[in-house]
Chains A and B, each alone.
Chain A
Amino acid sequence: MSIISQDAPGKTVLLMGNEAIARGALEAGIKVCAAYPGNPSSEITGSLSGVADEFGLHVEWSVNEKVALEVATAASFAGLRGLCTMKQNGLNVASDFLLNLNLSGCEAGLVLVVADDPGALSSTNEEDSRAFAKLGDFPLLEPATFQEAKEMTKWAFDLSEDLGLPVLVRTVTRVSHARGNVLLDELPRLTKKPLFDTSKPRVALPVLLNHELLRDKLRRAGEVFETSPFNFFRGPEKPELLIITCGSGWMYSLEAVINLDLSERVGILKIGTTWPLPEQMVLNHLKKVKHVLFVEEVNPFLENSVKEFFAQNCGDLGVKRFSGKASGTLPDIGELSPDIVISRLQDILKVSYEPLPAEYALRAKEISAQLVPERPLGFCAGCPHRATYWAIKNALALDGRNGFVAGDIGCYSLGMGPSGFSQMKTLHAMGSGAGLAGGFGQLNAFGFDQPVIAVCGDSTFYHAVMPALTNASYNKSNLLLLLLDNSATAMTGFQPHPGTGKTATGHEAPILDLEVICKALGAQVEMGDPFEVEGTTETILRLLQDVEGVKVLILRRECALVRGRTQKKLFNMEVEQDLCLGEKCGCNRLCTRVFKCPGLIWDTIADRAGIDEAICTGCGVCADICPSLAIRKEVV
């Protein structure tokens, strides 16, 4: 039994923030959950997929976030509660539908959970998705604790149903991925026959009328928020400084105030319903203070809302001092931390605080450097992407026209760094590599002669590459797309996708054949094995130099991590150290200096290469890379 499906009301369990959100959805009686995986959101739908059969839910990994939101919305339209989850970038994909859905409204509770990634720990941006709440007039909730993550999600469905409007729940990495105690509630077992009420068409038109209704809904949300238990104050009646915070900022602020022993001087107004503002509540607190510090990630969302509200009411409120991102008090990029808040409180309130001696940090660093091996950001041992980029690198070097890779989102994004030999030179959204390469392919008429290789993963292909490929075929571009088919959505945790033959809940699904799809979209398709590095290099060169039009080379090899779980090694690898040239002219440690598979190590005693047998996955590629044939592969 999954930890989120325990039928044990009153029991306290340790849950990851994302599990707490999933549990909240279960307690709210959802029937449908649809999502596209993306860190830090993936575990919400991931954990629900594990209990789908038990609870009679439909849980799916959709091919992209827009479709996911549409699938969840259909449930709502038919009277069943629907959940949709995604990361911040996903909201951009879903936004076209979302910004019409606000006008059409919804029926049963519909909640969209967006997990943001302040500091871009596993993203290509650190977009603050809360802007969409203002943009589309959606109520916005931000959990600050694990209990709140569950409670808010659960309540969001009630609110959504009450307003007839989808509700956004915004979480961040440190809430989603940390763990804490969560008190469980009842799990309802509802049975309801879904029905779409044809007398209430769900259309955005007439726009002005629906827009007015939407404004009314939002005002009502503001009224409800005034008394929400998710907003509360901690501190003295008249604090010297009021911290207004939300989400992860609450814990950081609390820790700072407690550590500095400032509970008698600093008040914290923690807001869980960040849009629309609970105005009266904010007003009451503003009246009592002269100085306000805003603590939130990433953009000054709450800060600006409060300041706008203050500007409307400054006649009654008098002069205030606002510190936050706009004043430069707190950094306006990246993650916050208790240390940052502590240091700002010290400055503002002139208190001294000696954390641990500076030597301690230095010493900790020294010790950890001895114990923890260096782990640069890179592909895993035996990753097919490393072999692919090796072939790309060689092909582009031999081609000699200053070619480059246009990439997008996936493990293979690491192609921009040393692990992918720095071949990737553009990196934006899902599918953007193919789209950009299709555009570059139109520039030949202007004298552009650099070869461009687009890369995309299998999951990304279904997500957003198909339109780009269709466009390139239709507009007769010159495009070479390498479809890196590792049969997994590897970067986000091996979720199945339309090419894997499995659904989110582990049931069989038809395999949507990449080769057939690419051919149908007008491409010339070839198949290749990335582990055949020389052959792949030659194929890439031939397709770049001799074949006009839209070409797709499908390079198929299972993700090394998936392979490691399901299959034995292909080869036993061994370095024959007599043959290894080491640091002499002739090799200069190509294997560990350039190819850099973590399975290869430098034996400092023998001054020769070696294999780390615990890490090596036995792919055999390094045997073909070694110019001295010192790396031997033996079929297992």
Chain B
Amino acid sequence: MNGGFRALEEKVFDRDLCVSCGACVSLCPYLRSWQGRTVKLDDCDLAEGRCFDYCPRGRVDLDELHRKLFGGPYKEMEIGKVLNVFMARARDSVWTGKAQNGGVVSALTDLAIKEGIIDAAVLTGRGTNLLPKGHIATDREDIFACAGSIYTSGPTLEALNRGPWNGDERIGVVGLPCMVLALAKMRTSSLETQTPIDRVEMVIGLFCTWALDYKSFMAFLRERFGDLPIGKVDIAPPPERLMKITAGDELHHIPLDEVRGFIRSGCHVCADMTSEFSDISVGTVEGEEGWNTLLVRTERGEELVKLAESQTVIESRPLPGDKLSHLREASLLKKRRAIDAMRDRGGLEEGYLTLSQELIRQIQSESKEGA
């Protein structure tokens, strides 16, 4: 039923669906992350491999994953299973300054480490030339260094696979929906894991509509801004449709349409906007600058958020109903587009996203109304 490296090549690489989440990297010597891409170094002929088994662009049976992780079938077709929804922001301005929006992700991670809920967090850091890479954070400084985003995807999960780990750490992971899906696949894999997935105690998922290809986006930035250092990058949601980039000392506004060409091809088939297999998912709040939307999905997620509130690490408010319905619509729209894109590439027929026909129909009809 599963496949190996050759399936990964055929079904994912050759179709340009790889999003370089890093789930397949550092498991074996055949794959490596390089300049934002996952690169094949040699051919491996194993019939079954973790590379394909963990790949979020490999086969995904949402029902099965849901049953195993949440104890029931996949029904929540918009934003996944949710225990609690609200909006929040970090109290400490150290986070709100550098991080996206309300700084809740950084603040929660910091708290989780401080309180010993986790010993280390796998985050996305940036190396030379803003190259995204997995980073293992064990203190506030590490977290601070990783705060913020330039919307290029990178091999964050490579760091989880690679370590180094002592073998007894409790681990947190902050990742994009593709990474959170990969973690879910790792957790439910029938293959011998040899990864620290069993020690992942907290997964904070980010909202994501797409990510940019590192190489081409960097080329664009270089062409635009030369050698000026790139600072914070933000996306202003509709109706603005702008990318706000600080280059040197100046803030620049770039129409989103100009960067859409750099969206990773593999993002177009992604049906998950809100990291549906996380403990807590965090994103923006449309029209509320400086705030985050929080979707709490699990009890351990709930505990962390409660702790954060009680220690006044974050402040929270109910999410207004219209914001929530906007979120649901946007999420559903992403699903519908993903289903269309996957159908175009033949992936739906091959069972690469297993959803009931009924659910597919529902998604397609409802999101049309919603859109």
Bound form: Cα–Cα A587–B51 in Å: 12
Q: Is A625 an interface residue (CB 8 A)?
A: yes
B45 partner residues in chain A, CB cutoff 8 A: 588
Q: Is A205 an interface residue (CB 8 A)?
A: no
Stretch of A165-173, A174-182, A339-347, A392-400 that contacts chain B: A392-400
Q: Is A586 an interface residue (CB 8 A)?
A: yes
Beyond A398-B39, A594-B42, A627-B28, whether A586 also contacts B50 by CB under 8 A is: yes
A627 partner residues in chain B, CB cutoff 8 A: 28-29
Q: List B1-49 residues whose CB lies under 8 Å from chain A.
A: 4, 27-30, 32, 34-35, 37, 39-46, 48-49
Q: List B27-79 residues whose CB lies under 8 Å from chain A.
A: 27-30, 32, 34-35, 37, 39-46, 48-51
Distance in angstroms from B12 CB to nearest chain A CB is 16
Contact A587 B28 (CB under 8 A): yes
A590 partner residues in chain B, CB cutoff 8 A: 28-30, 42
Residue in A421, A584, A625 whose beta carbon sits within 8 Å of that of B29 in the complex: A625
Beyond A398-B32, A625-B29, whether A588 also contacts B37 by CB under 8 A is: no
Residue in A397, A400, A585, A625 whose beta carbon sits within 8 Å of that of B28 in the complex: A585
Q: Is B191 an interface residue (CB 8 A)?
A: yes
Interface centre among B30, B34, B41, B45 (most CB of A within 10 A): B41
Nearest B residue to A393 by beta-carbon distance?
Answer: B41
Contact B192 A398 (CB under 8 A): no
Q: List A583-598 residues whose CB lies under 8 Å from chain B.
A: 583-588, 590, 594
Helix, strand, loop or mixed for chain A's interface? loop
Q: Is B194 an interface residue (CB 8 A)?
A: yes
Contact A588 B46 (CB under 8 A): yes
B34 partner residues in chain A, CB cutoff 8 A: 398, 400
B39 partner residues in chain A, CB cutoff 8 A: 397-398, 400
Nearest B residue to A394 by beta-carbon distance?
Answer: B41
Distance in angstroms from A79 CB to nearest chain B CB is 62
Distance in angstroms from A401 CB to nearest chain B CB is 11
A588 partner residues in chain B, CB cutoff 8 A: 28, 30, 44-46
Contact A397 B41 (CB under 8 A): yes
Bound form: Cα–Cα A584–B191 in Å: 10
Residue in B28, B32, B42 whose beta carbon sits within 8 Å of that of A586 in the complex: B28
A393 partner residues in chain B, CB cutoff 8 A: 41-42
| Interface bracket on A | 10 to 19
Query: What is the number of residues of chain B that contact chain A, defined by CB distance less than 8 Å?
Result: 24
Bound form: Cα–Cα A400–B41 in Å: 10
Contact A397 B40 (CB under 8 A): yes
Contact A586 B27 (CB under 8 A): yes
Bound form: Cα–Cα A397–B49 in Å: 21
Nearest A residue to B50 by beta-carbon distance?
Answer: A585
Bound form: Cα–Cα A627–B42 in Å: 13
A397 partner residues in chain B, CB cutoff 8 A: 32, 39-41
Bound form: Cα–Cα A144–B49 in Å: 60
Interface centre among A393, A421, A583, A627 (most CB of B within 10 A): A627
Residue in A398, A421, A585, A587 whose beta carbon sits within 8 Å of that of B191 in the complex: A585
Interface centre among A393, A400, A585 (most CB of B within 10 A): A585
Nearest B residue to A399 by beta-carbon distance?
Answer: B34
Nearest A residue to B44 by beta-carbon distance?
Answer: A588
Distance in angstroms from A449 CB to nearest chain B CB is 13
Residue in B30, B37, B191, B192 whose beta carbon sits within 8 Å of that of A400 in the complex: B37
Distance in angstroms from A578 CB to nearest chain B CB is 14
Q: List B150-164 residues whose CB lies under 8 Å from chain A.
A: none
Task: Mark each residue of chain A from 600 to 636: 1 if its CB lies under 8 Å from any CB of chain B, else 0.
Answer: 0000000000000000000000000101000000000
Taking Cβ atoms with an 8 Å cutoff, the residues of A that contact B are: 393-394, 397-398, 400, 421, 583-588, 590, 594, 625, 627
Apart from the given pairs A585-B28, A590-B29, 15 other A-B contacts in the complex at a CB distance below 8 Å: A394-B41, A397-B40, A398-B39, A400-B34, A400-B37, A584-B192, A585-B4, A585-B49, A585-B191, A586-B50, A587-B29, A588-B30, A588-B45, A588-B46, A627-B28
Taking Cβ atoms with an 8 Å cutoff, the residues of B that contact A are: 4, 27-30, 32, 34-35, 37, 39-46, 48-51, 191-192, 194
Instruction: List 16 A-B residue pairs with CB atoms under 8 Å apart, sorted by A's residue number.
Output: A393-B42, A397-B40, A398-B32, A398-B35, A400-B35, A584-B192, A585-B4, A585-B191, A586-B28, A586-B50, A588-B28, A588-B30, A588-B45, A590-B28, A590-B30, A627-B29
